[in-house]
Amino acid sequence: MKGADLQKLSDAELEQMFADLKKKLMDLRFQLEMNRLKNHAQIGIVKRDIARVKTILRGRELGIRR
């Protein structure tokens, strides 16, 4: 997901997305250990999405972003 799209979401929506992404990352790691994960790049994609969400939330907390 793009950062510009995330900027449009509310804090509550971002918090929910953060929780969902953390759960998805846990599921992907579990699949990796069970040798059922076909596309390993998904883990990196989810990690970057988590970082984007956390960056936006922290920026709002500091008053840098809207």
Q: Dump pLDDT digits (tens) for 21-40.
A: 999 999 999 999 999 999 99
pLDDT on residue 66:
59
Count: domains in the chain: 1
**d(C-alpha 10, C-alpha 13), whole Å:** 5
pLDDT on residue 2:
85
Residue 65: band (very low, low, confident or very high) from pLDDT cuts 50, 70, 90:
low
Task: Give the CA distances from residue 1 to residues 18, 30, 62, in Å, rounded to whole numbers and listed in that order.
Answer: 12, 23, 23
Domain holding 8, by residue range, is 3-62
| More confident of the two residues 10 and 1 | 10
Which CATH number is 25's domain given?
A: 1.10.287.310
Residue 64: band (very low, low, confident or very high) from pLDDT cuts 50, 70, 90:
confident
The torsion defined by the Cα of 16, 17, 19 and 21, in degrees rounded to 10, comes to: 170
